[in-house]
């Protein structure tokens, strides 16, 4: 698997395609009940000149866009229901990236396990109990069910949390 390192080597995706209605579902871990449009396309961000794709495509909307390889790993190891919607990726010349399939992933559900007394972050002024950003996160591991390896947190659901075991699999 190739995961981006925020070093400018891998592409970034631009905003969520406009034909996907109510796209906030995908960053909150809520089942997407609307029809997903055929042929949904993400575009490379024009600010970043990078052209390489990784197995996880970073984006400004904090949603999960995975290669087929990463999709398979998540399917085998995530105990939460997960929706996958096939999407196309357009490069800077607005041509489809070929040779690998990509999916918009939606891990449904959250766990209320962030230890707020230790976590360093900024709470949202709009959504009580939710973080806008986190600098350093701590978990109350007694609240994470045994065997759960991939999940979202209730107070910061846009981020996918993975166990050390899964992190090591991602990095292989």
Burial 69-91 (b: 16+ CB within 10 A, else e): ebbebbeebbebebebbebebbe
Cβ-Cβ contacts under 8 Å for 24 (sequence gap 6 or more):
none
Average pLDDT over residues 45-60: 89
Say whether pLDDT at 7 is over 70.
no
What tokens were used for 36? Answer: 């997903």
Cβ-Cβ contacts under 8 Å for 105 (sequence gap 6 or more):
64, 65, 66, 71, 74, 82, 83, 84
pLDDT tens track for 68-106 = 999 999 999 999 999 999 999 999 999 999 999 999 999
Average pLDDT over residues 27-43: 94
User: What per-residue confidence (pLDDT) applies to 136?
Assistant: 94
pLDDT tens track for 124-171 = 999 999 999 999 999 999 999 999 999 999 999 988 999 999 988 887
């Amino acid at each position: 698997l190739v995961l981006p390192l925020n070093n400018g080597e891998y592409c970034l995706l631009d905003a969520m395609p406009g034909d996907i209605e109510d796209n906030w579902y995908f960053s909150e871990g809520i089942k997407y009940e609307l029809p997903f449009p055929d042929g949904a396309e993400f575009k490379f961000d024009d600010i970043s000149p990078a052209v390489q794709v990784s197995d996880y495509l970073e984006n400004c909307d904090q949603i999960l866009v995975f290669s087929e390889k990463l999709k398979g790993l998540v399917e085998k190891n995530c105990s939460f229901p997960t929706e996958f919607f096939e999407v196309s990726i357009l490069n800077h010349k607005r041509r489809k990236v070929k040779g690998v399939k990509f999916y918009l992933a939606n891990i449904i559900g959250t766990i209320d396990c962030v230890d707020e007394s230790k976590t360093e972050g900024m709470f949202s002024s709009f959504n009580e109990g939710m973080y806008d950003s986190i600098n350093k996160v701590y978990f109350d591991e007694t609240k994470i069910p045994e065997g759960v390896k991939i999940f979202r947190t209730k107070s910061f659901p846009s981020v996918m949390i993975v166990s050390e075991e899964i992190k090591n699999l991602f990095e292989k």
